[in-house]
């Protein structure tokens, strides 16, 4: 019997968390997620074409559940997340904002 509830993402490719690039400050970028959680990453972590307002998917390398607790106590740096700009989602988000502004100002 097959399980149709399995995620489409394989265990080697961790599921991502969607957010929006909120701001750049010097060489840092702040990404804000729907739950208002924020992530500050090195700007070089982002794709070269990333801009403020872009919708992104952030994936943290899968190191296994046992490694998460160990990493919290280790002296070494945590693995850098990968960040991918979602161009279609960014365009849709910008359209929603334009439509809302048009409704507010009755254009």
In this predicted structure, what is the pLDDT of residue 60?
79
Confidence at residue 22, expressed as pLDDT on a 0 to 100 scale: 96
Does domain 17-105 correspond to CATH entry 2.40.50? yes
Q: Can you give the chain as a three-state secondary structure string?
A: CCCCCCCCCCCCCCCCEEEEEEEEECCEEEEEECCCCEEEEEHHHCCCCCCCCCEEEEECCCCCHHHHHHHHHCCCCCCCCEEEECHHHHHHHHHHHHHHHHHHHCC
Residue 6 has pLDDT above 50, yes or no: no
Q: How far is CA 103 from CA 4, 53, 97, 99, in A?
A: 41, 21, 10, 6
Give residue-wise pLDDT tens across range 12-64. 445 789 999 999 999 999 999 989 999 999 999 999 999 999 999 998 776 55
Higher pLDDT, 35 or 1: 35
Q: Which residue has the higher pLDDT, 75 or 32?
A: 32
List the chain domain ranges.
Answer: 17-105
């Amino acid at each position: 019997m097959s399980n149709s509830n399995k995620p489409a993402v394989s265990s080697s490719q961790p599921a991502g968390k969607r957010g929006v690039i909120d701001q750049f400050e010097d060489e840092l970028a702040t990404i804000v997620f729907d739950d208002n959680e924020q992530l500050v990453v090195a700007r070089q972590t982002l794709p070269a074409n990333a801009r403020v307002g872009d919708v992104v998917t952030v994936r943290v390398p899968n190191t296994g559940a046992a490694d998460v607790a160990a990493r919290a106590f280790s002296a070494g740096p945590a693995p850098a997340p990968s960040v991918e700009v979602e161009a279609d989602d960014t365009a849709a988000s910008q359209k929603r904002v334009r439509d809302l502004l048009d409704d507010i100002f009755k254009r």
